[in-house]
């Protein structure tokens, strides 16, 4: 019986820089999680603590597709939120506006960041007020039925 041999994935300089950045963030952040059976890696997942009285929060993270096929992030779930949506902040006529994202493709070797002022994951209808230091479970949903379980750390409202 012979085992299949996979060719190594060769990364170009920008991809290598992104990979190193993701790994550094992963060391400094609460979690860096590969998806079982896939080549997806998430790093630096965190949630900004909502202001008092609000039941809405934003989650941020970095994703890397270390595989050889394009995958598409199609959504997210959180057991502490009634609804989860992906958004992107864009400037329109000098004003910031959010628009819903229904799919975020990740090419082989590509990475993407969900950051304040850019792409983010909105958690609506939170079950309880989030506390700094709390760890919140998220599930990222990808094409092909891939689910990536992530734990995001709640940071202070002033975190950026």
CA distance 108 to 120: 21
CA distance 93 to 74: 28
In the predicted model, what is the mean pLDDT of residues 53-79?
Answer: 96
Domain layout of the chain by residue ranges: 35-155
Model confidence pLDDT, tens digit, residues 7-43: 444 445 555 445 444 444 444 444 445 554 568 999 9
Model confidence pLDDT, tens digit, residues 98-130: 899 999 999 999 999 999 999 999 999 999 999
Provide the CATH number for the domain formed by 35-155 in this structure: 2.60.40.1890
């Amino acid at each position: 019986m012979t085992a299949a041999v996979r060719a190594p994935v060769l990364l170009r300089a920008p991809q290598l820089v992104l990979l190193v950045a993701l790994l550094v963030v992963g060391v400094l952040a609460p979690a860096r999680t590969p998806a079982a059976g896939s080549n997806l890696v998430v790093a630096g997942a965190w949630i900004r603590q909502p202001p008092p009285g609000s039941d809405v929060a934003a989650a941020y993270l970095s994703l890397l597709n270390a595989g050889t096929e394009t995958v598409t992030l199609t959504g997210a779930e959180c057991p502490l939120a009634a609804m989860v949506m992906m958004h992107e902040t864009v400037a329109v006529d000098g004003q910031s506006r959010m628009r819903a994202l229904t799919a975020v493709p990740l090419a082989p070797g590509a990475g993407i960041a969900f950051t304040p002022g850019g792409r983010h994951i909105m958690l609506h209808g939170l079950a309880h007020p989030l506390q700094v230091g709390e760890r919140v479970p998220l599930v990222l949903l990808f094409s092909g039925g891939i689910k990536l379980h992530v734990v995001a750390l709640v940071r202070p409202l002033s975190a950026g």
